[in-house]
Amino acid sequence: MKRIYILVAMLLISVLACSNKQHQTNNKNTLRVDIGMEPPTLDPAKAEDAYAFRVINDLFAGLVDFDQANKLIPGMAESWDVSTDGKTYTFHLRKNLKFSDGSPITAKDFVYSWQRLVDPKTASPYGFLLKSVLNAQNIMNSKLPPSQLGVIAPNDNTFVVTLTYPNNSFLSYITVPDVFVVSRRVIEKYGNSWTDPKNIVTSGAYKLKEHVINGHILVEKNPNYYDAGKVSIANVIYFPYTDVNVSLSNFKTGAEDTSWQNVPIDQYADLKSTYARELHTVQWERLEYLVYNMKLPKYAKNEKLREALSMAIDRNVLVTDILKSGQIPLYSVVTPTVEAGGYASVKYSWSTWSHEKRIARAKELYREAGYSEKNPLLITLKYKTNDLYRKVAVAVASMWSSELGVNVTMQNVEWKTLIQSLHNGDYDISFAGWGADYNSITTYTPLYICGNPNNYAHYCNQKYDKLINEADITTNKQQQELLYKQALNIVLNDYPTIPLFEPSHQRLVSDRVQNYRIEENYLDNVQSKWMNLNQN
């Protein structure tokens, strides 16, 4: 019976691959992209992961755009002015902007989109991006209505933003898809179903044509996009291959043009040799870590246990023996590479200890925390369905078991389920990750703020929040950096998370894809409009 199941599964994969290939190769001007998972949403304000961002970056647009080197460039705003006190931004929109249905995009649409983002009813996990805008925090705390947000449209082509305090990262914040412009008319007409292909109206380089859940997403060029003349590729089709081996098979047969963010771990060395030209390995500005459920007393009230579990993990073994594709061991709650290494000094004091010394201390802390061989800690380790995370989970569980005697049960779930579990605190210890949206320490600091939707550990330390708030409004760069470091060291000492590694992304890119400068893009924020296809 087991053999029959395997044969059926193989047949289904084969049929899917052939179906995908037939679906796409009828049009030579279709880019075929693996996005790794089914996006939980295509609503910009509700998106929070790379799977959704990859598609939304094609479907929607904002005031400020970015190039392949992650540098800021004009988007729907052709220019902007900043007041001398740094608190007022005046954006000058391009003339004759249009949504995909031909209706005009005006400054009022940006007012609506931004008000919607901070509206508690939207429940956006990224509302914090506008925290520095006047009244935004009070709106998100339900103390003021969204209409009081510090944004106005004095005319159709001018959008004015008033900040509570100067924010050097503000322009970077508004390149994130959650801040892109959406159609008020469509959202109010269709409610939660406004992103269905039959209803959706977009503002970006592409418009949605088909969306088959867990099947494919097909978009086509938007002729009403302001820069449509420079968009070369007519169609993009995205496939949510959760199994990297299926993705690899499709790439090898020519049914896929770009793979997702990692290739099968055990095949990396061979692929690097066989596909030397097509396989790109790029350092990725991102954290991969575990979170304790700080709602649970066994973790919240036992700092020694949290520290012991973190120290017992040999990160060098993870990156050199398990992953073996350019990852960096991580001993901090932020990366050592953000802002050109400005926060590399923020790290655990034991990061330079020998492995033997770390394990000895971990065992001592484990005993002091109240656990032993006769009274072992029981852990359920939750991770998303993915070959890389499975292998890392197995390795981590083995380290905890062999070094401390912990009993670990592993539980893999689909990404949509995992993200909800993280938000709801429905886990024991779980894998989590965070990719930088911009090159600023403030891409990571919200992960530890009390009540932030992306604070997956449900950790809260008012001293940390106070220092972060003080740093955010400080204009002196040196003083600001000092405050951020003080705050981050509080998190280090509290151990709400277990940093594991800073990843690389390994992407196979077909020779037919032109003008994709992947090595420049350390944030891995991608737009299809940059590329063109070799038609030969």
Residue 352, pLDDT score: 96
CATH of residue 222's domain is 3.40.190.10
Range of the domain at 460: 286-502
Judge whether 294 and 305 are in contact, CB under 8 Å. no
Query: In the listed set 141, 162, 188, which residue is the last one of a domain according to the structure?
Result: 188
CB burial of residue 6 (10 Å; 0-12, 13-18, 19+): exposed
Residues 131 and 76 grouped into a single domain: yes
CA–CA distance, 302 with 391 (Å, rounded to integer):
28
pLDDT for 386 equals: 86
Q: What is the mean pLDDT of residues 17-43?
A: 76
426 with 476, same domain?
A: yes
Choose the weakest-confidence range: 14-28, 76-90, 111-125, 278-292.
14-28
Tens of pLDDT along 177-207?
A: 999 999 999 999 999 999 999 999 999 999 9
Residue 409 covered by a domain: yes
Q: What H or E segment, with its residue span, contains residue 311? A: helix 303-311
Q: Quick check: 284 pLDDT over 70?
A: yes
Give the DSSP letter string of 350-372: GGGS-HHHHHHHHHHHHHHTT--
Instruction: Give yes or no: residues 34 and 79 share one domain.
Output: no
Q: Tell me the pLDDT tens digit for each residue of 67-103.
A: 999 999 999 999 999 999 999 999 999 999 999 999 9
Domain count, the chain: 3
Greater pLDDT, 474 or 20? 474
Report the alpha-carbon distance of residue 36 to residue 166 in Å, rounded. Answer: 38
| 205 and 352, same domain (yes or no) | no
Q: What mean pLDDT is reported for the chain?
A: 94
271 located within any domain: no
Q: In this predicted structure, what is the pLDDT of residue 28?
A: 87
pTM for the full model? Answer: 0.91
| pLDDT exceeds cutoff 90 at 464 | yes
Average pLDDT over every residue of 451-466:
97
Q: Residues of the chain with pLDDT > 70: what percent?
A: 95
- We report the CATH number of the domain holding residue 106 as 3.90.76.10
- Residue 448 corresponds to which amino acid? Y
Mean pLDDT of 503-526: 95
Last residue of a domain, one of 170, 188, 206: 188
Shared-domain flag, residues 32 and 99: no
Q: Is the pLDDT of residue 377 over 60?
A: yes
CATH number at residue 444: 3.10.105.10
